[in-house]
Structure 1
């Protein structure tokens, strides 16, 4: 056992400090005043910098050329350095780090001297006889732990032990199975006493373990640990104090969520059943799209399961089109586009040894090789023995892109679905090219799916430079959000899965992956019963990725109309999804710039309310909406905790509730329990059935004005990359009220994109009084006493007494303007 017990040498290099202990070597550097890197190796020298994960660095890195379009080089933050007899100190305006000389340990404080992190003294950094590296940290009973990527169970991972690894976990238990498909070694610590958040990211892609207080020894203070099979301990500590700050800092390091095309927010159909038909699979899918229109159900695309690749031997062969099932792929793609639907074909990185293209890729040495580096490594895969593409090999990436173009992009397909890319390679010594320097697969396995997505993005850019990519990945490492939307794989069909998939998604959002979801209705198992199916769709419409998918074990197909007497509930839920499209698109823009999740745990928005710290199932949708999904069979009521610090309104009735209490409401099969908070701005569309073919030309904006608030409504053309050149429109909507209770809604615009919105409708919540006057751009508009007259008018306002809401309508303004709402009391008697 090699343990770092005492400091032997300290060398202040200015931009960083080097420390030599009797165990490991350390390098400590601040990237910013609130992000510190602690690098530890037990080798003679630090290994060469070589990261596919980081997009913000302050050093030269082997992957700089590979990552040239994504990586930003910054100058390190120079911390104040002081050395004392017992410790070394580094200070910034936000943090202070004390490095104890003996016993060696690192402690991190904020500028108010509150302890944020402390190594476990005498057991802080160590390397065991088998080469495993471990880092031990002190914890206490008031610490909550969140994130860790895609993990099952309750949202707070205190007292959990979790393995970091990519595994194909068909039909997993969403409460207990571990690991799943993603490997993201990052977590957030939030203390219930001081309510301060910080984050820790271990930039290490070996298989590893997090133990968050599950292990206990009476000889030590309470501790957590990170333990990895190899590499180095490369730790990035990120300060909050808000969780939002931690997530922003983490996504500064590993990248923001890619802004997807607008149509990706729509409903995408999917099922393995259709592509397993022996003939005319294309017709079955076209009929599906046509039926959505007949059933009055919005739809924008279809995820094409891998049956389309089936060869004469009955096996799936990547880049192959089965001509019996799809006689003319180009014609099929064009017919889908005419219907306003895109196709996203399933693509796998394992190439069966019977694939007609196998030898071409072998000749190019595009596969991961055996431990001798002479022959392609063969391993178990879906359908038999296969070799896996080595995406760390530039030549392999180029050949892969060539076939992506020939098989898909040249046929009009611009949506790529990367599946079965966990790289479950059983020989840990199999060799990868690693940009020319060779490395074993166990060192970089979870990075392969990231690079697979990167190759798809590059192929689309090279062939269709103005088309915004839409890529979906099942597996991934830290940073996967830069390239792809993800989903939580092959979930099982049960009420249990519906419930516990919620914290799985929330944990991913906290781990930087804002654009993700789960298969709605359940992927594996018998068809969902009608009530379960309705409740799953009603919850699923809030997931950034919304797709009903299935591989039912009872020979059924999960379709929106599978239970005709329940179809109306499915239809209504999907239409609400489309109504929320302007809000969701704006949230995805926020994710692309700030890193913010879409589905947010309550404590993300209400960190001061410790009652939210263990809530795993109710969540915020953006900062304004609270969703309380129904996940219990036969439920007729629902208890909901409404966080303190604001008022809350029932979505349907506008009934007001005080925050900081648990309420119980009645629920029925046709209702999704929804609330919005005081200080809300929620833009909605209406009558949208297809995001490909229709423009959002009318907006309904719900405003709760009794807390000052703002929201950025984001618009662009929804499909191109012109937004990167300034062709977007950001409308900052600010709401404030004055001492007299009058309300002002300001619209301030930025960007060159010309909006398609022609009509605006505001629904402004009123508490005690109805307005007496409303002006748009300083011009008074007409008040209507009669609802019918108001609804038939082009401009004016009307007061809805039942919901205490003022309805305002007017033609949209291209420039900046404001809406003024006056509540001065009219004294009718004295008149």
Structure 2
């Protein structure tokens, strides 16, 4: 049993009052930064509150040194570059806080500069008379007092005296049932009117989007055939959640800065005698968390209350190896989610099949699959090559980067034929280990590329055998031996993990990439099984030489960088992110509970680095299964792992998408369409419904592990199914201009998801707070996929206006529906060939007017601009706009040299008028080309379209609509 102790006996750390009163100036980024309040006790505990800005505060509780509490890496204290208590503190970005002490009562009040200046902001009350208790208060502009939005529970900072686990408890609303019809959060239902606390986040996890009342383990696992409602943990790590209070309409976020396995109890645990609490537990100390309140920008002279979009953006900035670039958001220092964009091809149809890659004639079969897909009327842009390509012809062992020449007699010719001849990108599966049977294992082991065995498993003296040959290989570098997947499910063999914190480990990995992948004309890497979950000995060692959260791209890529955008302060921010996320470098450390996340990040970094070094002008393709905060810097694409071919998996994947998106997960995200695991193939109905749901996702991949691979044409013999699936794929390709533009403007610049929950824009409507089976594409288009077997309609809640009624237009029929304040429950037709979708008045959808056999390219410049002004019977004026991004879709010129074009399409209608005015505004003209825009109204809307302003010079009104040409000359 653990020994849970709440540390007491706190006193002020000397000299903290003078250190925190003003903070450093922005003009001096090198100045030493201290917490505004530090406490310690006689048992070796320390507690710090560091105000980074008016809207971002960091809290750290470090344990005595015997628990390794002074650093994140293997219990080594006093690492270079760290300040008080071994912590690297961020620069303060705002003005000074007021710190008032009452030493006699052992209390302190910390007031943000915003509140002192009469603006809205936070005040923190600290009581350390016994155990530490923090109470966080929001004060509206000009108010004397505010309301408490976050409060520590009575034993907030417990720790386990035996293991050193660190805990954080906060108060929550009562868990007592409010009515006799009370249901679990797993049941998609409106919350009781008396429920005020709603919790979201944790990334890709089980269960519903709203997570109050649930318990979660955050740790990477290889969760084959996961039950999306109950399986826990899954593949990815995201120790962040946000809370919304419906009574105060207040948002805040909590980010726990750890890569250790952790447990979030959001109300699953009940203890009547103790009270109501939420808790967090980190397997390894220290406890290090941030309170996020969004951006600190003003709207006029008023600071609005925190919002979910602002909090998600703040999280994105916090975890990303900071990079400013030409395509970044100018209002946020040109911040970008990654120094590069994914190729446009990654938004197209990406095929995959484990069975196909293992066929005896696999090379011919893979080439034929791409040709057959197009011949049957389906565009295709990518082909994932599963691990069957590398199976040893005799043993069956999967030896990554090598090729089974009986199945793939000429992989170089295959790569050339697919990537150059058929314009279909190959994405090859690799895993972070080598089996000892691998022909390149000895070379890598001798040069020290692998994780090092624990000290008690190594030889006792030079040249002697390992003391534990089961855990240590017989090389002078002492590679750790671990069990890894080898042939079939459950088959394992001895091997070693690459050490991606080691220079030699990264170099060895990159040489194998070159030999096995790039030299074979293959340009995409699918880094799989990168949870490192079979690395089970915490005493094994990592070199600690490579900073996983540092950007390697300036040195790895010879394309011009965004000159003039990188400042000394920007460089400091990069250092801060590395220190925050991955600790210091330069000395080895044990795996501990932290090292697996470092390796996950390091694998993506090493892969992207070499792709850019080898092909500096091409956008890298790195698809990852596991994910840690900040990993989108190196790996754009991800999916929810090895799901099952079930209706349940389809229904719950929508909830998972939304949860991942509002936790700043991967930007290109989706699910294995049709399901990966299961002896059965998807039925025609399930395959259609899955494709209809997935077509709106940023990543669209059909992937399976079946005796007969799942294909888009497998049910051509079933009436209507083949036609429906072709219509779905064609519409997917028409949608790419919108998906790509939203990816850039929302995700790449702000960290926002492309697919958003309804509460993102409609949180004033309480029903949307638990609504997680429908979603928004961008801001106005609502999608309600049919995920119920046999159903021909979908029932859901449609939000109404906050103050006035709003109008929604049926995307398929053009029929408008007026929604009163409070919204209404609706039923929409969802016959097999229809995925219900509705556009809110003011919306715009930009589609490609033509679809080829591969992804949309600049040569296809037609754009259909569907506009949705409120209907004339609404008797109200209406306007709308949408920003379109155009570039070459394949090079890094947009992010490094400003070679992209950005234009805004817009409309406005006046109440009672029989005309609607449309136009465009060029915002950035860095990429030459012309785009023919055809503005169209919904079906049955008979108003005339007229060009507005300068657009009239290039406009023509035709029977098809208003046509406008956007032309950008070569800069």
How does the TM-score come out when normalised to structure 1?
0.89
How far, CA to CA, are the matches of 1:502 and 1:72 in structure 2? 38
**1:31 to partner: Cα distance:** 2.5
Which deviations, in whole Å up to 9, do the C-alpha atoms of 1:604-637 show, x marking residues without a partner? 1212211101112111112121111111111012
User: Is contact 1:157–1:212 with CA below 8 Å preserved after alignment?
Assistant: yes
Q: Which residue of 2 aligns with 1:274?
A: 356
Which deviations, in whole Å up to 9, do the C-alpha atoms of 1:206-247 show, x marking residues without a partner? 111000011122233311011011131110110142110110
Determine helix, strand or coil for the equivalent of 1:442: coil
The answer to which of 363-372 and 704-713 deviates more is: 704-713
How far, CA to CA, are the matches of 2:658 and 2:923 in structure 1? 31
Determine helix, strand or coil for the equivalent of 1:117: strand
User: Is contact 1:165–1:446 with CA below 8 Å preserved after alignment?
Assistant: no
How far, CA to CA, are the matches of 2:54 and 2:73 in structure 1? 24
Q: Which residue of 1 aligns with 2:933?
A: 760
The equivalent position to 2:676 in structure 1, one of 512, 523, 534, is 523
The equivalent position to 2:215 in structure 1, one of 161, 179, 182, is 161
Q: Which residue of 1 aligns with 2:260?
A: 206
**1:390 to partner: Cα distance:** 1.2
Aligned positions of 1:365-514 closer than 5 A: 365-372=448-455, 374=458, 375-383=478-486, 384-424=493-533, 425-435=535-545, 436-484=587-635, 485-513=637-665, 514=667
Closer, same or farther: CA 606–428 of 1 in aligned 2, 3 Å: same
Aligned positions of 1:92-241 closer than 5 A: 92-93=113-114, 94-103=121-130, 104-112=132-140, 113-140=146-173, 141-240=195-294, 241=306
Q: Which residue of 1 aligns with 2:562?
A: none
How far, CA to CA, are the matches of 1:676 and 1:72 in structure 2? 46
User: Is contact 2:845–2:866 with CA below 8 Å preserved after alignment?
Assistant: yes
The equivalent position to 1:364 in structure 2, one of 438, 444, 447, is 447
**1:558 to partner: Cα distance:** 0.3
Determine helix, strand or coil for the equivalent of 1:82: strand
User: Is contact 2:225–2:642 with CA below 8 Å preserved after alignment?
Assistant: yes
**1:266 to partner: Cα distance:** 0.3
How far, CA to CA, are the matches of 1:711 and 1:126 in structure 2? 51
How far, CA to CA, are the matches of 2:640 and 2:208 in structure 1? 16
Which deviations, in whole Å up to 9, do the C-alpha atoms of 1:338-359 show, x marking residues without a partner? 2120000001012111111111
1:42 aligns with 2:213: no
**1:479 to partner: Cα distance:** 1.5
Which deviations, in whole Å up to 9, do the C-alpha atoms of 1:236-262 show, x marking residues without a partner? 110142110110000011126443111
User: Is contact 2:254–2:290 with CA below 8 Å preserved after alignment?
Assistant: yes
How far, CA to CA, are the matches of 2:100 and 2:284 in structure 1? 32
More strand by share: 1
Which deviations, in whole Å up to 9, do the C-alpha atoms of 1:486-525 show, x marking residues without a partner? 1111001000100011111211111111321110000001
User: Is contact 1:49–1:61 with CA below 8 Å preserved after alignment?
Assistant: no
The equivalent position to 1:8 in structure 2, one of 7, 11, 19, is 11
The answer to which of 601-610 and 519-528 deviates more is: 601-610
Q: Which residue of 2 aligns with 1:304?
A: 385
**1:772 to partner: Cα distance:** 7.7
User: Is contact 2:917–2:945 with CA below 8 Å preserved after alignment?
Assistant: no
The answer to which of 166-175 and 635-644 deviates more is: 635-644
Q: Which residue of 1 aligns with 2:302?
A: none
Total equivalences in the alignment: 778
Determine helix, strand or coil for the equivalent of 1:511: coil
User: Is contact 1:18–1:25 with CA below 8 Å preserved after alignment?
Assistant: no
User: Is contact 1:688–1:694 with CA below 8 Å preserved after alignment?
Assistant: no
The answer to which of 587-596 and 423-432 deviates more is: 423-432
Q: Which residue of 2 aligns with 1:625?
A: 781
Q: Which residue of 2 aligns with 1:254?
A: 319
The equivalent position to 1:796 in structure 2, one of 948, 957, 960, is 957
Determine helix, strand or coil for the equivalent of 1:796: strand
User: Is contact 2:337–2:632 with CA below 8 Å preserved after alignment?
Assistant: yes
User: Is contact 2:733–2:848 with CA below 8 Å preserved after alignment?
Assistant: yes
How far, CA to CA, are the matches of 1:37 and 1:278 in structure 2? 57
How far, CA to CA, are the matches of 2:951 and 2:214 in structure 1? 59
Structure 1 gaps of 5+ residues are 52-58, 63-70, 783-794, 800-806, 816-831
Closer, same or farther: CA 257–627 of 1 in aligned 2, 3 Å: farther
User: Is contact 2:501–2:602 with CA below 8 Å preserved after alignment?
Assistant: yes
Aligned positions of 1:651-662 closer than 5 A: 651-659=811-819, 660-662=823-825
How far, CA to CA, are the matches of 2:513 and 2:725 in structure 1? 35
Q: Which residue of 2 aligns with 1:803?
A: none
User: Is contact 2:795–2:825 with CA below 8 Å preserved after alignment?
Assistant: yes
**1:546 to partner: Cα distance:** 0.7
User: Is contact 1:647–1:657 with CA below 8 Å preserved after alignment?
Assistant: yes
Q: Which residue of 2 aligns with 1:77?
A: 94
Q: Which residue of 2 aligns with 1:688?
A: 851
Closer, same or farther: CA 18–127 of 1 in aligned 2, 3 Å: farther
Determine helix, strand or coil for the equivalent of 2:445: helix
The answer to which of 481-490 and 173-182 deviates more is: 481-490
1:340 aligns with 2:423: yes
The equivalent position to 1:26 in structure 2, one of 25, 47, 56, is 47
Q: Which residue of 2 aligns with 1:789?
A: none
Determine helix, strand or coil for the equivalent of 1:120: coil
**1:2 to partner: Cα distance:** 3.6
How far, CA to CA, are the matches of 1:620 and 1:6 in structure 2? 51
Q: Which residue of 1 aligns with 2:117?
A: none
Closer, same or farther: CA 215–302 of 1 in aligned 2, 3 Å: same
How far, CA to CA, are the matches of 1:196 and 1:606 in structure 2? 14
Q: Which residue of 2 aligns with 1:324?
A: 406
User: Is contact 2:930–2:968 with CA below 8 Å preserved after alignment?
Assistant: no
User: Is contact 2:155–2:169 with CA below 8 Å preserved after alignment?
Assistant: no
How far, CA to CA, are the matches of 2:9 and 2:251 in structure 1? 29
Q: Which residue of 2 aligns with 1:581?
A: 736
User: Is contact 1:30–1:78 with CA below 8 Å preserved after alignment?
Assistant: no
The answer to which of 589-598 and 738-747 deviates more is: 738-747
Q: Which residue of 1 aligns with 2:367?
A: 286
How far, CA to CA, are the matches of 2:263 and 2:71 in structure 1? 24
User: Is contact 1:699–1:757 with CA below 8 Å preserved after alignment?
Assistant: no
How far, CA to CA, are the matches of 2:531 and 2:954 in structure 1? 60
**1:61 to partner: Cα distance:** 6.7
How far, CA to CA, are the matches of 2:218 and 2:951 in structure 1? 59
Determine helix, strand or coil for the equivalent of 2:388: helix
**1:738 to partner: Cα distance:** 5.2
User: Is contact 1:182–1:446 with CA below 8 Å preserved after alignment?
Assistant: no
**1:692 to partner: Cα distance:** 6.7
The answer to which of 95-104 and 154-163 deviates more is: 95-104
How does the TM-score come out when normalised to structure 2?
0.77
Closer, same or farther: CA 438–50 of 1 in aligned 2, 3 Å: closer
Closer, same or farther: CA 196–421 of 1 in aligned 2, 3 Å: same
How far, CA to CA, are the matches of 2:518 and 2:82 in structure 1? 32
User: Is contact 2:73–2:590 with CA below 8 Å preserved after alignment?
Assistant: no
Closer, same or farther: CA 110–592 of 1 in aligned 2, 3 Å: same
Closer, same or farther: CA 73–414 of 1 in aligned 2, 3 Å: farther
Aligned positions of 1:45-60 closer than 5 A: 47-48=70-71
Which deviations, in whole Å up to 9, do the C-alpha atoms of 1:132-170 show, x marking residues without a partner? 110001111521111101101111111111101100011
The equivalent position to 2:869 in structure 1, one of 684, 694, 705, is 705
Which deviations, in whole Å up to 9, do the C-alpha atoms of 1:362-415 show, x marking residues without a partner? 112211122117422222211122211111112211111121122212333221
User: Is contact 1:368–1:432 with CA below 8 Å preserved after alignment?
Assistant: yes
